[in-house]
Amino acid sequence: MDYYTIGVLVWFLSAPLFFILFLIFRSKLRSTRKQMIDLEASTQRVREQADANVKASDEKYSWITSREKEIERLEASASQLRKDIDELRTSYKDKKSTFDRLRQEVALYDERIAFAELGVYEPHFDFGDSEVFRTAINEVREKQKAMVSAKMATACPTDWTVDGSKSKGAAMINRQTRLTLRAFNSECDAAIANARWNNVNAMEKRILNAEKQINAANASMNLTIRGEYVALKLDELHLTHEYREQQKRERDERAESARLDREEKKLQAEAAAAAAEEKKYQEMLDKARQEVGVDEERIVELERALAEAHEKTERAKSMAEMTKSGYVYIISNVGSFGEDVVKIGLTRRLDPDDRVRELGDASVPFLFDTHAMIYSEEAPALEAALHREFEERRVNAANMRKEFFRVSLEEVEEAVKRLATGAEFFKDREAQEWHETLWRRKQLLSAQGTAEALPDNI
């Protein structure tokens, strides 16, 4: 066989194989192409997702950037607001200080205006004893009687005649004089009887007005009430009023003296009790030392108790013997008297808090807060010095025993630091009952829907 034949034979024999291989290759190619298409589609999706993620990231970055800028702006604004708040606080403190000072001044002016409107009486006499006033009143009345008896209470310079008779004219003038004095004396007696602390000046005007009207009614007869007699009536009015006021002061002084006597007796009783307690501990200590096998700690405890009892005895004796030693107390009662009202007083009790508790009894609705309790061997002098500091700020300017002052705690603290060096001063107001009362009222009003009627800072 030649090569051509062999080649043709090989071709025919290998053609089916090549055809099978072609079919396999084509199938493989189609599969690969499909995979390529799927891969490109997947790649496209991934690319699109990546683009979407990038876009979202860009948006988030932009949002974060804008938020950071907003935060920076807000921080700058907050910083400025903090500065403004600090400035406002400083301004508020300054303005509150000014307001408190002006409020105190206004209160003083209000009191003065009230006094002016009431016509507060200024004393004409300075006897200082009710018996002296009573004697002076009797003397003035005797002078009035003497003037009436001597027919010197009125004046009539005209010699009147009736029907040509001077005696009838004199009788007419005498009758008119009696009527005149009866009317004038009745007005004066009513004015004197009704005189009170707030109307004495008005009663004085009533007497003078009665004189004027009666003289006007007698003008046709040229009959007048003498000025000397009117002056005696005014003296009687002033003396009677001041006599009543002196009696009030003496009653208050007797009450204060009785209170001081009670305190003195209580101090003596406390001194005696302290001495008895010291004696008891001394006897117990002597007995313990004599006994065998007594615990040393027991002896030390008795010695400590004896030392405390001795110190208490010495302090009680000192308070009882030294009439100038005592405690100057500074207290306030915001629930009863409001803010910026303090009481500056003195007590010689061994336990000065007893006096504060006594002042906060049923006579006031709330307890007092103690801001200072200053022991001094010259307590009256210290109390007087503190009173002088705020003399023009007294709540009661008429009764010096009412020791309340319209003054802030800061001012009192400053005065205490100057006048009682080293003394402790507490500005805090506990006012527990007052705050609890406000809270309960607020709860009640809140339940009724009217809580705004009370402040929130309670």
Distance CA(167)–CA(382), nearest Å, equals 75
Helix (H, G, I), strand (E, B) or coil at 421: coil
Do residues 57 and 146 share a domain?
A: no
E strands, 202-289, are: 224-225
How many residues does this entry show for the chain?
458
Do residues 432 and 422 share a domain?
A: no
276 domain residue, yes or no: no
Contacts of 239 (CB under 8 A, 6+ apart): 124, 125, 133, 136, 137, 140
113 domain residue, yes or no: no
Distance CA(190)–CA(449), nearest Å, equals 56
Contacts of 368 (CB under 8 A, 6+ apart): 331, 332, 333, 343, 356, 359, 360
40 domain residue, yes or no: yes
- With 0-12 CB in 10 A as exposed, 13-18 as middle and 19+ as buried, what is 244? middle
Do residues 2 and 28 share a domain?
A: yes
Do residues 417 and 432 share a domain?
A: no
Q: What is the domain count for the chain?
A: 4
Q: Pick from 195, 223, 252: which residue ends a domain?
A: 252
For 57-80, letters b (16+ CB in 10 Å) and e give: eeeeeeeeeeeeeeeeeeeeeeee
Do residues 422 and 452 share a domain?
A: no
Residue tagged 């705690």 (tokens) = 409
Do residues 434 and 393 share a domain?
A: no
> What's residue 151's pLDDT?
92
> What are the angstrom distances between the C-alpha of 213 and each of 205, 209, 259?
12, 6, 51
165 domain residue, yes or no: yes
The parent domain of residue 364 ranges over: 322-426
Do residues 134 and 244 share a domain?
A: yes
Q: Profile the chain (458 residues) by mean pLDDT over runs of 10 residues.
A: 70 71 79 83 84 81 85 86 85 80 68 52 83 94 95 92 87 93 95 89 94 95 95 96 90 78 74 79 76 70 79 67 78 91 88 87 88 90 93 85 91 93 88 87 78 46
Do residues 414 and 456 share a domain?
A: no
Distance CA(186)–CA(204), nearest Å, equals 14
* Maximum C-alpha span of the chain: 214
Distance CA(168)–CA(146), nearest Å, equals 25
| Beta carbons within 10 angstroms of residue 24's beta carbon | 10
284 domain residue, yes or no: no
282 domain residue, yes or no: no
Distance CA(170)–CA(158), nearest Å, equals 10
Does the model's pTM come out above 0.85? no
432 domain residue, yes or no: yes
Structure-block tokens of residue 180: 């005149």
Q: Which of 444, 423, 398 is nearest to 121 (CA)?
A: 398
